[in-house]
Amino acid sequence: MKCFYHPDQDAVGMCARCGKALCSACAEDVGGALLCSQCIALLREEEAVRQEQEFVEVEARRRLDVRHVKKIILWSWIITVVLGTILVVALWKEREEVLSVADKFFMAILWIYIIWSWYWGFIFVANSRWGRKIFGREISGCLMIILWLFVAPCAGFFGGGIYKYLQYRKIVKEGE
């Protein structure tokens, strides 16, 4: 068999990508595979295009996300402070016979964490793979109530909320 590029030379192998016969002058070992110069150039070009696309996507997402994520974080604290204050005031009005001061303090901290977790749990669920499938379509009011009342608090309380909050904080930190 003769080289595709040099018909007077014997081939030492075939290009792993295009299948052309190659002589020792044309064949290049790239990661254990023999490739011709044209295929190497195509691979480099494809890699450059892929890296450029990846960079453009990351930059576009970063620019959009930082402002949006800052608003989400701000609203999490506004909602937590407002609802938490209402619950703490309601707890503090309980008589001493029903709840001691230590119990009231513990309950206040627990309720504030639950409110915060509920907010972030809903974001965690809404941004999950199946959450995006649900929210990508019209959803019934019943499904929304189930999601809001049961799934989001569980996801938030058991770590999903903290995970999502820290993920959003990282986006803001990287974007600044």
d(CA 30, CA 76) in angstroms, rounded, equals 51
Give a yes or no: residue 54 inside a domain: no
pTM, to two decimals: 0.50
Q: Of 141, 87, 144, which Cα lies nearest the Cα of 114?
A: 87
pLDDT tens string 46-61: 888 888 888 777 766 6
Structure tokens at 129: 């793979």
Tell me how far CA of residue 104 lies from CA of 88, 100, 125, 157, 158, in angstroms.
8, 6, 30, 20, 23
Give a yes or no: residue 16 inside a domain: no
Tell whether the model's pLDDT for residue 118 goes beyond 70.
Answer: yes
Give a yes or no: residue 4 inside a domain: no
Tell whether the model's pLDDT for residue 117 goes beyond 60.
Answer: yes
Q: How many domains does the chain have?
A: 1
Write out the residue range of the structural domain in which residue 158 sits: 60-175
Percentage of residues in the chain with pLDDT exceeding 90?
Answer: 2
Give a yes or no: residue 42 inside a domain: no
pLDDT tens string 132-173: 555 555 556 666 667 667 777 777 777 777 777 888 888 888
d(CA 59, CA 46) in angstroms, rounded, equals 20
Give a yes or no: residue 30 inside a domain: no
Give a yes or no: residue 37 inside a domain: no
d(CA 17, CA 98) in angstroms, rounded, equals 78
